[in-house]
Amino acid sequence: MNQIEQAEAVFVIFGSTGDLAKRKLFPSIYNLYRKGNLNEHFAVVGLGRREWDDEKLRTVVMESIQEELGEQRPEVTESFLKHFSYLSFDVTNKDSYSELNDKLHILDETFQIPGNRIFYMAMAPEFFGQIAQSIHNEGLKDTQGWTRLVIEKPFGTDLQSAIRLNDEIRQAFSEDEIYRIDHYLGKEMVQNIQVIRFANAIFGSLWNNRHIANIQVTSSEQLGVEGRGGYYEKSGALRDMVQNHMLQMVSLLAMDVPLRLSTDDIRSEKIKVLRALRPIVGESIKENVVRGQYGRGEINGQEVIGYLEEENVSDSSKTETYVAAKLMIDNHVWAGVPFYIRTGKRMAVKSTKIVVEFKELPLNLYSKENKQTGPNLLIIHIQPDEGMTIVLNGKKIGSADTTPVHLQYRHDSEDRFNTPEAYERLLFDCMMGDATNFAHWDEVSLSWSLVDAISKAWSESGEKLPTYRAGSMGPKEADELLEADGFSWWPVEEM
């Protein structure tokens, strides 16, 4: 069987009338088809309570392709759209599932699909457990082919709810059938971290506490909460970004060399990192974690409102829109090396970057002579630009002075606004049965353990939340976090 034959499946999208399906899933499926990563043996069933029909769904799919990808190719979209159908469906109604089952059998026959099914949960998390169990109990998994469950974030709202959810879905699907989405793991340069680290002798030998002074991971956004105030009030930056995307990047940066590039070997090394993370509890929370909330300010010359003025946000809200933290990994390789992370909304720039700062030479003859030298840096540009930069010290041409030299490999990201690119890769991996770039349950639970202790302390604390001006790089306390260790944030704007 070739690769594309493995991908022959029916995609069942729970929540097909929603925002995620429109902005990410439909354009991703279209790209897979356009690029030949899907042949004609596939079908998509969209589900939602709305009284739509096939025509309505197809119109929405076409609009989404045009809006997200700017595609105007009627002949391609027509042959593509005939694979889509819609079923009005209430996930809480048991009877709906047998109707869905009948539909799946018909689609298998129409498109000659060997019974493979991807169930994609693009809905609010409170439904995930119930849907998974109904899929199982109503016989939707009883097929000749494989069945896989794709779960959107958030996977729970704390460790307890995540355990509950996991228990529910595990009654219906085995761990290797579950694909927990973290869209950062679908980003080109996040996937490149492993290649940079494990395919280059220069980094392989330097990647430890003897040579690295600190690692900084920044993911800043210019956007505010964009109408998602209701969700964000219960989440905040810690649960929204740190529990998943930020800790995933840290574990990719700190993991040991896996035995092989297999899903199990890579996941097991990432899990070891999360196990070795020093818990941040009690008094150490104040010393190691900074939170903030954006006030009014300016983004790209436009005045913007503060968080407390956003729709569906309480005017006394203590929800953090910014988090910076110092993480320590208590193992042989990383003892003594801080991993600084920061993420926030309404910051000066949209930028996700990793800066690896190497230790200085024990004796640098040029700095002794007051020449301008700095530490060597490896910068991994995740978005919006993609690539890497190595910063070295060199000689200023025609002078005796030294100067920083930037060796760059850069290309503009196709993934500029978190477009379907990442989702497209992850959907393809799921079709291929490759779960490497999805979160394993152990990763999810370990991340929640770290985050829960912090959010509990914050919710019990009467302390005022530092504010930062919209359009800045966050509260001054985040700068002080690094200054206390003799470091500072490397600017992400112009690097």
Ligand X SMILES: NC(=O)C1=CN([C@@H]2O[C@H](COP(=O)(O)OP(=O)(O)OC[C@H]3O[C@@H](n4cnc5c(N)ncnc54)[C@H](OP(=O)(O)O)[C@@H]3O)[C@@H](O)[C@H]2O)C=CC1
Cα torsion angle, 261, 264, 267, 272, sign: negative
Among 152, 177, 240, 310, binds ligand LXAUTJHC (CB under 6 A): 240
Instruction: Give Cα 305 distance to the centre of its chain.
Output: 27
Which residue in 248, 418, 445, 455 binds ligand LXAUTJHC (CB under 6 A)?
Answer: 418
From the list ligand X, ligand LXAUTJHC, none, partner contacted by residue 418 (C-beta under 5 to 8 A by kind): ligand LXAUTJHC
Could you tell me if residue 458 is left (phi over 0), alpha (psi between -120 and 50 degrees) or otherwise beta? alpha
- Our CA angle for 443, 477, 157, nearest 5°, is 30
Picked from ligand LXAUTJHC, ligand X, none, the partner binding residue 240 (CB below 5 to 8 A depending on kind) is ligand LXAUTJHC
As measured in angstroms, the least distance from the Cβ of 360 to ligand LXAUTJHC is 32
Nearer to ligand LXAUTJHC, 352 or 467 (CB): 352
Looking at beta carbons only, is 166 or 418 nearer to ligand LXAUTJHC? 418
Active site residue 245: yes
**SS3 readout for 146-173:** CEEEEECCCCCCCHHHHHHHHHHHHCCC
What is the C-alpha to C-alpha distance for residues 126 and 313, in angstroms, rounded to an integer? 21
Record the tokens describing residue 430, joined without a space. 């799921």
Cα-Cα-Cα-Cα dihedral sign, residues 454, 455, 460, 466: positive
In the complex with ligand LXAUTJHC, the residue whose CB is nearer, 9 or 189, is: 189
- Active-site residue, from 245, 332, 411, 440: 245
Phi, psi of 370 (to 5 degrees): 60, 30
Q: Which does 17 bind (CB under 5 to 8 A by kind): ligand X, ligand LXAUTJHC, none?
A: ligand X
| Residues 152 and 125 sit within 8 Å (Cβ to Cβ) | yes
CB of 244 to ligand LXAUTJHC, least distance (A): 7
Q: How far is the CB of 404 from ligand LXAUTJHC (least distance, A)?
A: 28
Min separation Cβ 219 and ligand X, Å: 14
Using CB under 6 A as the binding rule, the residues of this chain from 307 to 336 that contact ligand LXAUTJHC are none
Q: For the CB of residue 67, give the shortest distance to ligand X in the complex, in Å.
A: 14
Nearer of residues 104 and 247 to ligand LXAUTJHC, judged by Cβ: 247
Return the closest-CA partner of residue 438 out of 149, 179, 119. 179
Please pick, from the candidates 8, 221, 310, 386, the single residue that binds ligand LXAUTJHC as defined by CB under 6 A: 221
* Rounded Cα distance, 488 and 284, in Å: 20
Q: Annotated binding residue at 18?
A: yes
Contact predicate 446/271, CB 8 Å: yes
Q: Is 442 annotated as a binding residue?
A: no
Q: Taking CB under 6 A as the criterion, which residues in 340-369 touch ligand LXAUTJHC?
A: 352
Q: Judged by CB, which is closer to ligand X: 6, or 101? A: 101
Distance between CA 47 and CA 10 in Å, rounded? Answer: 13
Q: Does 94 belong to an annotated binding site?
A: no
Between residues 288 and 419, which has the closer beta carbon with respect to ligand LXAUTJHC?
Answer: 419
Q: How far is the CB of 173 from ligand X (least distance, A)?
A: 17
- Check the annotation: does 108 bind a ligand: no
The residues that touch ligand X, with contacts defined as CB under 6 A, are: 15-20, 23, 48-50, 89-92, 122-125, 152-154
Count of residues engaged in binding ligand LXAUTJHC, rule: CB under 6 A: 5
The entry of ligand LXAUTJHC, ligand X, none that residue 92 binds, CB within 5 to 8 Å by partner kind: ligand X
The binder of 90, among ligand X, ligand LXAUTJHC, none, by C-beta within 5 to 8 A per type, is: ligand X
Min dist. Cβ of residue 295 to ligand X (A): 25
Q: Per the annotation, does 453 bind a ligand?
A: no
- Which CB sits closer to ligand LXAUTJHC, 96 or 418? 418
326 labelled ligand-binding: no
Binding-site ranges for ligand LXAUTJHC (CB under 6 A): 219, 221, 240, 352, 418
- Give catalytic residues, as residue numbers: 245
Known binding-site residue numbers for substrate: 183, 187, 221, 240, 345, 350
Known binding-site residue numbers: 15-22, 49, 90-91, 153, 183, 187, 221, 240, 345, 350
